[in-house]
Amino acid sequence: MTTALITGSTAGIGAAFARRLAAQGHNLVLVARDTKRLREQATELHDRHGIEAEVLTADLATEAGIAAVEQRLSDRTHPVDLLVNNAGFGNKGRYLEVPMADELTMLKVHVEAVLRLTSAATQSMRSRGRGAVVNVASVAAFVPRGTYGASKAWVVQFTQGAARDLADSGVRLMALCPGFVRTEFHERAGMGTDNIPNWMWLDADKLVTEALADLGRGKTLSIPDPRYKALMGLVKLTPRGLLGGVTSRTGRKYGPQ
């Protein structure tokens, strides 16, 4: 039986990955900051699907948290076959309105943690000749909008580059770029969602189903849902200067996860 490790597993897209993978019979390593929620999630998934669910409390904004997950991913006696780097957050406010400490914490979680955990996982996977990594980015990666979008653009570029370098190793990597998803993400960041049209909202469970299908097809970039595929096609045709002005007027509109 294979094992999947999911960061940010207790809510939103991470929780949807946990539900889907447990239903498919994968054992899980659930990673988040809240031990109580992790244990409740592990018990529910074990009771419902009969899988083993390991709990690992870790704050990926800290050195200790990243190191703890690195250590688990490097464990060759209990290998992880699928890593889902999902943990992330948003900051409310425009550039220079957000405290520098918060901006650096975002880079710690979105960039350093993703780099280190992907590296720890793929080193072990390459030695076995199999494995996969899904790094959750965002459609925000494709628009010029602050540290959030920049960090997610890094995730996309890093993941696709690493996928190319490991193409003959049996290890697959994919960047997942969702649009707006009904999760706790915006509430935790204190962001209002009243100005977001209903058609832009995605269901987390359907999103994960499409993402895993794209991973199975060998894609290195997944933009689940035809609406966002079309929208990102328009973004590519829009001049960067005009696009920057639009996203500036709408605030952190393109900050879904």
| Domains of the chain and CATH, by start | 3-249 (3.40.50.720)
Give one word for 148, left, alpha or beta, with left for phi > 0 and alpha for psi -120 to 50.
alpha
One DSSP character per residue, 159-213 reads: HHHHHHHTTTTTEEEEEE---EESSSHHHHHT---TTS-GGGEE-HHHHHHHHHH
**Using 50, 70 and 90 to split pLDDT, how confident is the model at 243?**
very low
Burial of residue 78, with CB atoms counted within 10 A of its CB: 0-12 exposed, 13-18 middle, 19 or more buried: exposed
Structure-model confidence comparison of residues 126 and 235, the more confident one:
126
Q: At residue 182, does pLDDT exceed 70?
A: no
Q: At residue 101, does pLDDT exceed 80?
A: yes
Q: pTM for this one?
A: 0.87
- The predicted pLDDT at position 106 comes to 97
- The predicted pLDDT at position 204 comes to 92
Q: Is 148 a catalytic residue?
A: yes
Contact in structure between 88 and 177 (CB atoms under 8 Å): no
- The predicted pLDDT at position 242 comes to 39
Mean pLDDT calculated for residue range 76-104: 95
Contact in structure between 118 and 39 (CB atoms under 8 Å): no
Q: At residue 232, does pLDDT exceed 80?
A: no
Q: At residue 250, does pLDDT exceed 50?
A: no
- Write out pLDDT tens, residues 151-169: 999 999 999 999 999 999 9
For 131, the 3-state DSSP assignment is strand
